[in-house]
Structure 1
Amino acid sequence: MDDRQFRNAMGKFATGVTVVATEVDGNVYGMTANAFMSVSLQPKLVVISVAEKAQMLKKIKQSGTFSVNILAAEQKELSMIFAGQLKEHRDVEFEHLGKIPVIPGAIAQITCEVSVAHVEGDHTLFIGKVTNIQLEDGEPLIYYSGKYRKLENDD
């Protein structure tokens, strides 16, 4: 199988869209990610996957903390900014939950301390111990087969 076939197959799994954020020396850094999942309830753990070539890898290692912000359906532009899909500069406002930066309006803000990091293939998996959660009402932004989507209500 070639790389394109593998990517196309992985794209058939519909996911939510997150922005992972961290802060180093007073500067906030973020990246769009859909490689996120819960790991454990006791203790509360999540995992994110960061490419070895991503600048976020070094930043998360430096800070030892990160947030996972599950984006609302109307936050597509934020996803595009942090995925590098928009070339013109846009300022993004962050809030803090505890001392960790989060995206205002995200339907879930999850802050974490890095518990352990595992290098697997061309990515590092960061296991994060959840330190705080804030939830908002709203519909999630969905990503499927290379396109942004919204949930359709069957009610």
Structure 2
Amino acid sequence: MAKQKADQQLDKALKQLSYGFYIVATRKGGEDLSSRDEDWVTASTVSWAMQSSFEPPLITIAVQKDSDLNETIQRAQSFSLSVLGKSDEKLIQKFAEQHEVDYSNRSVNGISYQEGKTGAPLLDCGIATLECKLEDALTTPGDHLLFVGRIVNAISKDGQPITEADTRKHYEGTSPQS
């Protein structure tokens, strides 16, 4: 009974942290990937991201260990993070489930992208995009890896970021929920 109460308290406490919604995107040539033969662009919704240094400017993101995003970031050594705004709510689920890349038109799930300085796709969505060179990958005993990226380029637009408090989508606490 005491363990159950402690687990409930942990779940409640973790849900008090602030969580936003972001799309992480990366690209690597197929010759450098173990799981595919062709160039690969991958982009997925994440909610665990934060600034982790002033100088140099760094961000840290958490990515599921068993994801395409994990392998591609590690091989590409770069990624972009698009901060979703309140008007981008439909993209949260779309990038959590779908993965349709149109290489000839440079789009992922219907969202166009440009190649950044590092080769990472810079998606045309959200209220800000941070392009990062991978500085470190930290393995944890948990189900996510931590990637630390040095910001090499930033694009900012007007708008307010969307948070889990604004939606019915939740990726928090002691188990994933939607």
What TM-score do the two structures reach when normalised by structure 1?
0.81
1:101 and 2:114 aligned: no
Structure 2's unaligned 5+ residue stretches are 30-38, 102-108, 170-178
SS in 2 for 1:49: strand
The letter of the residue matching 1:129 is R
The letter of the residue matching 2:15 is G
Aligned length: 146
Aligned-CA RMSD value: 2.6
CA distance change for structure 1 residues 83 and 74 in 2, over 3 Å: closer, same or farther? same
CA distance change for structure 1 residues 64 and 144 in 2, over 3 Å: closer, same or farther? same
1:51 deviates by 1.3
The structure whose residues are more often helix, as a share, is 2
Report if the CA contact (8 A) 2:111-2:125 is conserved. no
Aligned position for 1:139:
160
**How many angstroms apart in 1 are the aligned matches of 2:123 and 2:71?**
21
Structure label with greater radius of gyration: 2
1:107 deviates by 0.9
The structure whose residues are more often strand, as a share, is 1
**How many angstroms apart in 2 are the aligned matches of 1:51 and 1:39?**
19
Please give the residue correspondences for 1:36-115 in structure 2 after superposition, counting only pairs within 5 Å. Answer: 36-84=49-97, 90-98=109-117, 99-115=119-135
1:7 deviates by 5.2
1:11 deviates by 3.2
CA distance change for structure 1 residues 31 and 13 in 2, over 3 Å: closer, same or farther? same
1:8 deviates by 5.5
1:146 deviates by 6.8
| Cα deviations by residue, 1:3-48 (Å, 9 ceiling, x for unpaired) | x845564333232210000012243211111110111111111101
CA distance change for structure 1 residues 12 and 144 in 2, over 3 Å: closer, same or farther? farther
Structure 1's unaligned 5+ residue stretches are 149-155
**How many angstroms apart in 1 are the aligned matches of 2:46 and 2:125?**
17
